[in-house]
A and B are shown apart, each in its own frame.
Chain A
């Protein structure tokens, strides 16, 4: 992860090992035990190893504190695919009754580090959006639109967008959005699929209206 970029060097200098942070002095880190002859064993950087050792300690103690929440953020920045850490983060957020609108900002920070194709972060976003309810309707469509502007076929983004439309509303405007995408790339299969789904949803709405 070395870089000649000055900003990145500055960030690397800023990270203080957990063992040297006074707020963590009471915690005994738990090392990973792979047994004597590990199968498909994995080599780790010191930073990763230390962060995971401290995470194991708070996880084992089921500590749901602000410092534990920050630690889950550090683990996630190292490995956004670690589903166990995301689980634990959700438990902490529930216990602390955190403002989930802040969680959306955290999500975007993680996603924008090249994690737009990660199952765990999208599932976490859905969990947060479900908790927030209809106030998240606009933000979810906006966010997926931003991701799709970078990668118009991102499967996770489309899947999340379909869920948001279904759960939080907004199908009536979707065909127009698909038209815009198809004007850019007529071969965008994801947009065509969404057009089809719009018709399915539209048909359902009409059936319900006719039933009344």
Chain B
């Protein structure tokens, strides 16, 4: 199916159509995404911007729907009619930052919601039900940083908790003692980067663990002896970029792997070649290609997971 004699091309027009199309298929995948639509929107919109196609979207309608998902407590839910959660609060803020519409929200209210989720040991719960995971530490730090209110939480304790999740192999898990996993590593390393605490990372040890994720096909897996998956093109690559070890993998082979995961006929990218596509893997595949400096894509910030021009506007543009 794929050609190894020349690199495939990135089908920007097809991927744009895939994201923009209103799915009329009544399939299982559509139903199971209903509650995390906010993240789906963030993945889709950010991908469009990376490809230079964000103008195809009606920004006012997006903002209107995002704001409908905000609750009185300040948090955002995954969709209208759902409960607030830190995951979707981050996705909502990322969308508003992308569209330059952060002036539509009360940053203090959202900050108070996130502050309320910090636990005694510095960790963060996802919501009032108390699930603890370093993913939520990243959500808290990233969201508050975008809102210029990182000082509202106990940053020292937040970082100490994340550091307590460091393992013998230099990686990080979801909770102390949890197995090192590329997705969790991205969350922890990015949280350190945003907070100015990268001294907690052993760059050579972690860099080695991360570059060992590259398998024969050129793709990246998330843990030793697991299958390659396009989403790790983001989680592994962004972590390597932050710790300045991205040259430890074979970038050309990874590019080829990601391009081979495209559905060149209908658009979209899948977890591995010839599987079904979805917006999640489309985003992470294109974000990975952006980190690999694929021509025609805007650069993406490895810690904020937003286009660099958006991050520049947040920190070097007009203050909110």
Contact = CB atoms under 8 A, between A and B. Distances in A.
B61 interface: yes
B35 A35 contact: no
A212 interface: no
B319 interface: no
Of A1, A39, A123, A194, most buried by chain B (CB within 10 Å of CB) is A39
Given A35-B64, A193-B180, A200-B177, A44 B31 contact: yes
Given A43-B23, A153-B223, A83 B81 contact: no
Interface in A33-47: 33-35, 37-45
Interface in A71-93: 78-84, 87, 90
Nearest to B24: A43
Contact of A196 (B25, B41, B168, B279): B168
A40 B41 contact: yes
A187 B212 CA distance: 14
A90 B77 CA distance: 18
B179 A155 contact: yes
Contacts of A39: 41, 57-58, 61-62, 65
Nearest to B180: A193
A182 B81 CA distance: 46
B224 A162 contact: no
A196 to B, nearest CB: 6
B37 interface: yes
Q: How large is the interface on A (under 10, 10 to 19, 20 to 34, 35 or more residues)?
A: 35 or more
A19 interface: no
Interface in B31-66: 31-37, 40-41, 44, 57-58, 61-62, 64-65
A40 B34 CA distance: 10
Contacts of B279: 40
A83 B82 contact: yes
Interface in B217-261: 223-226
Contacts of A1: 28
Contacts of B314: none
A210 to B, nearest CB: 22
A193 B31 contact: no
Interface in A87-106: 87, 90
13 contacts: A34-B80, A37-B58, A38-B22, A39-B41, A43-B26, A43-B30, A79-B31, A81-B32, A83-B35, A83-B82, A87-B83, A123-B131, A189-B225
Interface of B: 22-28, 30-37, 40-41, 44, 57-58, 61-62, 64-65, 68, 77-78, 80-83, 85, 127, 129, 131, 167-168, 173-175, 177-181, 223-226, 279
Interface of A: 1, 32-35, 37-45, 48, 52, 56, 59, 78-84, 87, 90, 119, 123, 126-127, 153, 155, 158-159, 162-163, 187-190, 193-194, 196-197, 200
The 5 A-B residue pairs with the shortest CB-CB distance in the complex, in nearest-first order: A193-B179, A84-B82, A189-B224, A197-B177, A42-B30
